[in-house]
Amino acid sequence: MSKYLLTMMTIGLAICMCGCTDDAAEETDGGNEAAAVTSDTGEAAAVTMAMLDGVDVEAGCAKCAYKIDGVTECMLAMKTGDKAYIVDGTDIISDDVGLCGANRPAKVTGEVTDDTHFMAKVFEFTDGK
């Protein structure tokens, strides 16, 4: 039950960070969506997805900056609100763009795929570096 609540809170945060209203979400094709899947035993939602479209985030290292559980090497991550996610779908190497000692602002479009991963369609640094 607590995992379900955490998942729903993450979706709510993603929706708030987009700044979309209910009307705007209905008008856009890829607005904020939440989908729940139940297991064969009928237990509550196990998989949740949230779409982010052009959201400003903080980029950093999953290991050094955000200390994401289970991460043992430097890799690209982002933080939106209080939640950090490992970023998949890019060829950006955190060491190569200076993220192991500092954070950088970025704008992202993509999908939160689980509690710790974000699949990026677009990931752009906004600090001009």
Amino acid at 32: N
Q: Regarding beta strands 50-61 and 117-125, do their DSSP bridges make them parallel or antiparallel, or are they unpaired?
A: unpaired
Question: What would the pLDDT profile of 105-116 be if each residue is shown by its tens digit?
Answer: 999 999 999 999
Q: What are 77's strand-pairing partners?
A: 60, 86
Model pTM above 0.85: no
pLDDT for the residue 129:
80
Please report where in the chains the tokens 């939106």 appear, as a residue: 80
Domain boundaries, the chain: 2-125
Q: Single out the residue of 15, 7, 124 nearest to residue 80, CA to CA.
A: 15
Tell me how far apart the alpha carbons of residues 23 and 128 are, in angstroms, rounded to a whole number. Answer: 33
In this prediction, residue 25 has a pLDDT band, given cuts at 50, 70 and 90, of: very low
Question: What would the pLDDT profile of 33-60 be if each residue is shown by its tens digit?
Answer: 333 333 343 333 333 568 999 999 999 9
